[in-house]
């Protein structure tokens, strides 16, 4: 007598292999963006530590589709919202400018909205910045060399001006030398007390966002968004 048995895939050890979880989840209308997924986005407006405040909104848009097992999880052109959660301007003597952004929402082209925890992984579109920690804090690179160079330039300018003034006032080379020294020190002091550069992310800057935990999706609404 014969029986019809369901077909099962067989692994190397001869045991049945279950279908892939993503296939099952798509069939049931559920998918998941896995934790650690990197999503490239582009800023829709400029951000600067000179004017940014904690709580300011951040608007971006995905630039490339995120695909898993031949299924689109995040289409290109999906809007991304976030918030500035911390901002700090550079100090005059020490301390670099920093800004911390947290992404909170995906808005698909269909209007389907998903809440998420997203952080900055990298900022390939911004010069002289780096991400300093796991939170995604964007920090201005060190400017020690630039400030020293500017200080030297100001010192030379101040020294030349001081030499002229000192020489005219005293009518001697000694007066010119004293004036040059005072002018040079003044120039260096002014340069070293100048505030460091701000973090500036122009509109169109590319940011690599990373998803910080699994985010469940409704597959049927994603399909409608394609």
Q: How many Cα atoms are found within 13 Å in the side-chain-facing hemisphere of 65? A: 12
123 and 45 housed in the same domain: yes
Domain-located, residue 14 = no
Q: At what angle do helices 173-192 and 144-170 cross, to 10 degrees?
A: 150
- How many Cβ atoms sit within 10 Å of the Cβ of residue 116? 22
Query: Higher model confidence: residue 24 or residue 152?
Result: 152
Domain-located, residue 16 = no
183 and 102 housed in the same domain: no
68 and 135 housed in the same domain: yes
Residues 44/62, Cβ–Cβ less than 8 Å: no
Residues 91/58, Cβ–Cβ less than 8 Å: no
41 and 116 housed in the same domain: yes
Which residues pair with residue 66 across a beta bridge?
Answer: 74
Q: What's the angle, vertex CA 106, arms to CA 51 and CA 117, rounded to 5?
A: 75
Mean pLDDT of 138-152: 62
CA Rg, the chain, in Å?
29
Domain-located, residue 7 = no
107 and 174 housed in the same domain: no
CATH code for the domain in which residue 137 is found: 2.40.128.260
35 and 98 housed in the same domain: yes
101 and 211 housed in the same domain: yes
d(CA 66, CA 208): 12
Query: Higher model confidence: residue 52 or residue 125?
Result: 52
Domain-located, residue 134 = yes
56 and 134 housed in the same domain: yes
Residues 36/210, Cβ–Cβ less than 8 Å: yes
Domain-located, residue 3 = no
93 and 204 housed in the same domain: yes
Nearest residue to 72 (alpha-carbon basis) of 120, 112, 122, 128: 112
Q: Choose the most confident range, by mean pLDDT, from 33-42, 120-129, 136-145, 175-184.
A: 33-42
72 and 123 housed in the same domain: yes
- How many distinct structural domains can be found in the chain? 2
Domain-located, residue 17 = no
Domain-located, residue 56 = yes
pTM of the full predicted structure?
A: 0.68
Domain-located, residue 2 = no
Question: Domain containing 155: what range?
Answer: 144-192
How does pLDDT run across 50-72, given as a tens digit for each residue?
999 999 999 999 999 999 988 89
The whole-number pLDDT of residue 178 equals 54
59 and 137 housed in the same domain: yes
Mean pLDDT of 95-117: 95
d(CA 41, CA 186): 46
185 and 213 housed in the same domain: no
Q: What contacts 119, CB < 8 A, 6 or more positions away? A: 101, 102, 103, 134, 135, 136, 209, 210, 212
């Amino acid at each position: 007598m014969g029986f019809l048995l369901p077909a099962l895939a067989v692994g190397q050890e001869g045991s049945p292999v279950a279908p892939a979880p993503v296939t099952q989840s798509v069939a049931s209308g559920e998918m998941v963006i896995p934790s650690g997924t990197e999503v490239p986005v582009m800023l829709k407006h400029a951000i600067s530590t000179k004017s940014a405040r904690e709580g300011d909104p951040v608007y971006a848009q995905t630039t490339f589709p995120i695909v898993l097992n031949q299924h689109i999880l995040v289409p290109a052109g999906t809007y991304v919202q976030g918030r500035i959660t911390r901002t700090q301007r550079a100090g005059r003597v020490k301390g670099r400018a920093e800004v911390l952004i947290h992404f909170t929402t995906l808005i698909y082209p269909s209007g389907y909205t998903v809440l998420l925890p997203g952080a900055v992984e990298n900022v390939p579109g911004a010069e002289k910045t780096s991400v300093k920690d796991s939170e995604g804090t964007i920090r201005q690179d060190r400017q020690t060399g630039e400030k020293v160079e500017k200080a030297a330039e100001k010192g030379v300018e101040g020294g030349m001006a001081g030499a002229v003034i000192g020489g005219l006032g005293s009518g001697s080379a000694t007066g010119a030398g004293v004036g040059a020294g005072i002018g040079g020190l003044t120039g260096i002091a002014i340069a070293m007390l100048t505030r460091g550069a701000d973090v500036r992310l122009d509109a169109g800057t590319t940011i690599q966002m990373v998803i910080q935990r699994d985010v469940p999706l409704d597959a049927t609404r994603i399909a409608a968004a394609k």
